[in-house]
Structure 1
């Protein structure tokens, strides 16, 4: 006969099983959600009902967690429960969770055109390898983990292409009861993130002289065999923006700025989606394609002209 287990015991066995199938960084993210949110609430439970999960959702919303984060937590909860049910350690009843309606639209933060020009001009005049990273991000839309992992052999000045094939991140590790973090250099999470990005003429002009003299295995941001980690680089970027008196903008705003400038320049959405490494075009459309008042008026005018 199969013994019933509580959620904590199932979670531990599920983690051991999952280790064989997912990337180390993905497992680390799952474990963090388990430790911080699921185990404290459901750890001793041997039967988890929809009502209890709904209460958990409202509690997390009150604590200020976003709906997206809560949905990610529930995905992990479901995976562990299905694993437990498969082994007959726990009963799994699918839950249908309700969320309050979000009334305000989420605005992405981007640099204004004048601020973007100011940052790029400053970097051209005050060249350092760390400043170069910010210029590359504004010219290519790459993520912070991708710029920190970029090495000189990823930069092909002959063909004017940047190859994105790795990322760096600090992950949370629990092994043998010990908790620590470690810096992980790995391939990007999805196959779409492995991509080629053409360089602008200005960027190519900046990089060509260096390419002849640098060690191809060195990291671009440090021009050294040791990389900068995202947390350190984020802090450097924040100080630079303060120095330039640019309104506070998250590092990810550089990626948003690149995408927004592409859309403003009438680039086709599919190309922008591929450049950003999005898994599908709907992500790009939802984030960046918001018709302005002028476009809306034009649509109404066209419709009435067609009626006549």
Structure 2
């Protein structure tokens, strides 16, 4: 059994699913124009083979399904995505549900698994991973619905830690205060470069690390995202952007262009590691933690920003400055503006007070003019 390319340029899925009534092999060969279509056909034929053996039914346990069906079908997952799925399965899902047959998994026992997670973030990740696994079972016709797609109650609902995942700087004034300190104390360092690109351009942390000098046009003040560098199974991996919307060309803000001109232009990665190569995501995170453990000259502790919260800080500050969300979403590489607003914009109480004060001030001016 295999997927192979034919001389015609098409792709064939070739699977022996069993034995015919006369004792000969029941070999199925299907041809498709693309390799992806042939792989899907191979998976379908392999499932047919397992059904004929009487092994893959709804009575298979979740752990068996993951090993025998799910992982073989998800061979093309990005390394960092697979690492996250494996972590969720090992720590949360399989200990709670692994010995249960697929048809026994319902909303009640999924809620118990979610309630046993220490934080909302870990619970959300576990549910999304489980939804991917059970969605595969639905596609195979093994269960009628995906119970992990239902609504659930998460740990910490209504009491989320506002600084979980790193502090969000919600105004450009906060951004410039931090960037000004870096310009004075660590000019050209990897931390300054990470913060400038993250706060001024809103790139994902993997996109920041994969950005090269040839991706930046200082004269036109444009930046093109062509790849990402993330931690996964076996270490860090450089891959294509997360999705087609992530491959994008965006404007380069004046401050970012000014600092990049001071750093270079050079060759290779803008945020470079030892020997001029790509900087490890682990090393980058550690250097950010060391920097944010310090303080401003007046003694005020530095905000504990992370590579992830820099992107969120960019989005929130842009909204506070009045940028149209559809334009912001395109800059950030999102397919849907709902993603931008739901996950990347978070207002502080001070921001809300400032907005109310501005509204009151506008009303007072109107009253005086009457």
Question: TM-score scaled by structure 1?
Answer: 0.78
After superposition, the C-alpha distances for 1:95-136 in whole angstroms (9 at most, x for unaligned) are: 345426932467473236555333222333332241223222
- Residue pair 2:188, 2:263 contacting (<8 A) in 1 also: no
Distance 1:93 1:263 in 2: 38
1:7 to 2:100 alignment: no
Distance 1:58 1:25 in 2: 26
3-state SS in 1 of match to 2:208: helix
Counterpart of 2:188 (choices 128, 134, 143) is: 128
Distance 1:57 1:115 in 2: 36
Structure 1 residues 133 and 52: CA distance shift in structure 2, 3 A = closer
After superposition, the C-alpha distances for 1:125-176 in whole angstroms (9 at most, x for unaligned) are: 332241223222221111221111111111112311111121111113xxxx
In structure 1, what is the equivalent of residue 13 of structure 2? none
3-state SS in 1 of match to 2:293: helix
- Residue pair 1:193, 1:278 contacting (<8 A) in 2 also: yes
- Residue pair 2:88, 2:125 contacting (<8 A) in 1 also: no
Residues matched between the structures, number:
285
In structure 2, what is the equivalent of residue 184 of structure 1? 237
Counterpart of 1:241 (choices 288, 292, 313) is: 292
1:110 to 2:168 alignment: yes
After superposition, the C-alpha distances for 1:63-98 in whole angstroms (9 at most, x for unaligned) are: 334342243133134224325x53x5xx55543454
Q: Which moved more, 1:126-135 or 1:104-113?
A: 104-113
Deviation at 1:210, TM superposition (A): 5.2
In structure 2, what is the equivalent of residue 220 of structure 1? 270
1:252 to 2:311 alignment: no
Deviation at 1:294, TM superposition (A): 6.0
Which structure: larger Rg?
Answer: 2
- Residue pair 1:221, 1:227 contacting (<8 A) in 2 also: yes
In structure 1, what is the equivalent of residue 18 of structure 2? none
In structure 2, what is the equivalent of residue 71 of structure 1? 127
Deviation at 1:16, TM superposition (A): 0.4
Distance 1:72 1:58 in 2: 14
1:37 to 2:92 alignment: yes
Distance 2:270 2:152 in 1: 46
Aligned runs of 1:154-193 on 2, under 5 Å?
154-172=215-233, 181-193=234-246
Structure 1 residues 148 and 294: CA distance shift in structure 2, 3 A = closer
Question: TM-score scaled by structure 2?
Answer: 0.66
Structure 1 residues 113 and 151: CA distance shift in structure 2, 3 A = closer
In structure 2, what is the equivalent of residue 280 of structure 1? 336
Structure 1 residues 143 and 8: CA distance shift in structure 2, 3 A = same
Distance 1:242 1:114 in 2: 21
- Residue pair 1:161, 1:196 contacting (<8 A) in 2 also: yes
Q: CA RMSD in A?
A: 3.2
Q: Answer 1 or 2: higher relative contact order, Cα 8 Å, separation at least 6.
A: 1
Distance 2:85 2:335 in 1: 21
- Residue pair 1:15, 1:31 contacting (<8 A) in 2 also: no
